[in-house]
Amino acid sequence: MMKDNVALRKTDQGWKFIDESELENFVWDNLEELFGLKPLARQLSIKGEICDILAIGDNHQLTIIELKNTEDRYVINQLTRYYENLLEEKPLNTHINYDEPICLFAICPSFHRHNLIDEKYSKLDFDLFTFFIKHENSDFNFYLTHIFTQIEPKVIKINYQEVNFQNQPQDNIPEPPRLLLDWLGALTQTEIENLTKIRNQILSFDYRIEEMIVNKSIIYASKYGRNKLRQCAELFFDRKSKKIILFLWLIIPNRQNQTIARMQINTTQEYLMYWRYAPIKEGIIVWEKFFNRIFYNVTRSNQNYHGIVTENNRSFYCVRGDNGTWVKEEIFGENIKDIVNEALKVWLEKVS
């Protein structure tokens, strides 16, 4: 089975997971290979505290796993509280044999000396694991080592690729910022190519459009006045889907006064097409026929609407028919280049 893409970031010290939730995703997906355990629950709240991962082994023996993407001096304390809370509440007791000893795992890039003192004098037994990510040739590998044993580290390949634009003709397009390169590494090669075309289309349109990092987004805008921007487009990395979301500043349809708003573009076919766009704060209004060629909506309130599926690079609504069976309604998209051109025209009118 193909493993999910993983989002990493490059630092002066090396490669890291983009955040702690991504480390959790990776460990959760590889529990059996790492520890021979089966996943049971994630982010389980017990008495106001949240356990990262619960897993079970032979005889339904419980393992509590706490993860840290950076060094943390309180990880032993946290595991101790989770141990007490779980023994007291006994959740998921149809899956867990609470008569078996509970295993306590901490996974961190390194351990603070306070962790080792807490572990040494605790009445509980802890398994402490360190990890690091190593870029070897063209592969990224996750190394996990038990700090108290001499056992060889577990090594698992990470589904990530380093994106490098050096020595590629860019037609005076600046090299992407490090943040964008980190995001792109979680995408497929086709997605990288298509998203790069969108970026080049925007930056080659007018020399006044600059690429800048604002908060956690990459903004494409021109500067005016003091610390003011006229935005055209924005890229944002959605850590749940591990995809880059495109926003464009466009005219809201069906209004007497032309109002420009930041619109989220829903793309299909690996950033090659789009099928709708809507303001970031979605409402209940249904809009139809913008530019006389695309139908889209802000929210689909029909209770028979189930979701969107993609098959063979074609996207479909899943809708319950009159006879109660689910049917697919194809979503017809338009070239993403066209909607980017519309945003560039809107931007040009603002700065002219």
Rg (CA), the chain: 25
Report H helices in the chain: 20-29, 31-35, 75-89, 113-121, 178-184, 189-203, 336-351
> Is the model's pLDDT at 100 over the cut of 90?
yes
pLDDT of residue 72: 95
Q: What is the mean pLDDT of residues 165-184?
A: 79
Q: What is the pTM of this model?
A: 0.74
Share of the chain above pLDDT 90, in %: 60
Place of tokens 């505290």: 49
Q: How far apart are CA 289 and CA 49, in angstroms?
A: 49
Reported confidence tier of residue 327, pLDDT bands at 50, 70, 90: low
**pLDDT, position 159:** 92
Domain ranges in the chain? 8-158, 178-351
| pLDDT computed for residue 288 by the predictor | 35
Q: What is the mean pLDDT of residues 123-145?
A: 95
Mean pLDDT score of the chain = 84
- Give the strands of the sheet with 217-224, arranged side by side: 210-214, 217-224, 228-238, 243-251, 260-268, 273-279, 334-335
Q: Does domain 8-158 have CATH number 3.40.980.10?
A: no
What pLDDT does residue 81 have? 97
Region of 206 please: left (phi>0), alpha (psi -120 to 50) or beta.
beta
Q: How confident is the model at residue 181 (pLDDT cuts 50, 70, 90)?
A: very high
